[in-house]
A = this chain, B = another copy of it.
Amino acid sequence: MDNHHIDHDREDRIGFQEVVYGESKSVEDLSHILEDFISNGKNVLVTKLQKNKATVFLKKYENAMYDEPSGIFILKPLKELIKKDEVAIISAGTSDIHVSNEVFYTLKYMGVNATKVNDVGVAGIHRLMDKLEILRSFKILIVIAGFEGALPTVIGGLLSQPIIAVPTDIGYGVARGGHVALNAMLSSCANGISVVNINNGYGAAMSAIRILNLINK
């Protein structure tokens, strides 16, 4: 009754294929979907997959990879990347690793190698200043922050590349859930920062891919 009809033409249409949102699907439904991709000879990216469900599929598909902090699951091994680094994934530290890894592995799945730049939080701004030259060398900056979400604003006043801001759900009290970081990024007085949903590392990566496709065309 519930056959999943994958949008296999999407890649032809807009350059990237359908991805599977894992969080709210049962193991049974995911199994049908994965088999459908396999029978079409395709690789597949599953996002926000919980560990207990991933364990089932890691046993079944021995080449698959799974990143626990982000919940990213990739069915087949990825090819060696030869492209040079074009994207920096900037965050204040390890608390946001569930999001920075989602960006990292989504980009990798799309064939883009990225570099993580950590420990550049706004509460210790000199560390950010020390890395300005390195940051200037990337084409796109994906900036991740929870709590008060000020990091994209500070970077936006210092650097001129496209900046994709990703709020995370890290924080407590008024910051719980990430809405403060999201709203602070949307309200930024720095110029031309664009924003994705809370914890949407996948979306930030795809937004970068849209830009890179434009450059590399």
Whole-angstrom CA separation of A142 from B75 in the bound complex = 34
Q: A173-B198, A175-B183 are in contact. Are A157 and B189 (CB under 8 A)?
A: no
Query: Is the beta-carbon distance between A161 and B214 smaller than 8 angstroms?
Result: yes
Judge whether A170 is part of the interface by a CB distance below 8 angstroms: yes
Query: Is the beta-carbon distance between A123 and B174 smaller than 8 angstroms?
Result: no
Report the minimum CB–CB distance from A74 to chain B (whole Å).
16
User: Which one of B24, B184, B204, B214 lies within 8 Å of A148 (CB-CB)?
Assistant: B184
Taking CB as reference atom, which chain B residue is nearest A186?
A: B197
Given contacts A125-B157, A150-B153, A183-B184, 18 further A-B contacts (CB under 8 A): A2-B118, A5-B118, A10-B157, A13-B126, A13-B160, A14-B157, A19-B191, A24-B95, A29-B94, A29-B97, A122-B190, A148-B183, A148-B187, A173-B198, A174-B183, A186-B200, A187-B197, A194-B203
Query: Is the beta-carbon distance between B186 and A183 smaller than 8 angstroms?
Result: no
Whole-angstrom CA separation of A146 from B25 in the bound complex = 13
Judge whether A42 is part of the interface by a CB distance below 8 angstroms: no
Residues of A whose CB lies within 8 Å of any CB of B are 1-7, 9-10, 13-16, 18-19, 21, 23-26, 29, 33, 48, 69, 92-95, 97, 116, 118-119, 121-127, 139-140, 146-150, 153-154, 156-164, 167, 169-200, 203-211, 213-215
Report the minimum CB–CB distance from A179 to chain B (whole Å).
7
Q: A154-B154, A174-B198 are in contact. Are A148 and B185 (CB under 8 A)?
A: yes
Whole-angstrom CA separation of A3 from B25 in the bound complex = 34
Chain B CB count within 10 A is highest, among A94, A158, A178, for A94
Whole-angstrom CA separation of A179 from B187 in the bound complex = 11
Whole-angstrom CA separation of A21 from B93 in the bound complex = 10
Chain B residues whose CB sits within 8 angstroms of the CB of A4 once the complex forms: 93-94, 118-119
Chain B residues whose CB sits within 8 angstroms of the CB of A6 once the complex forms: 119
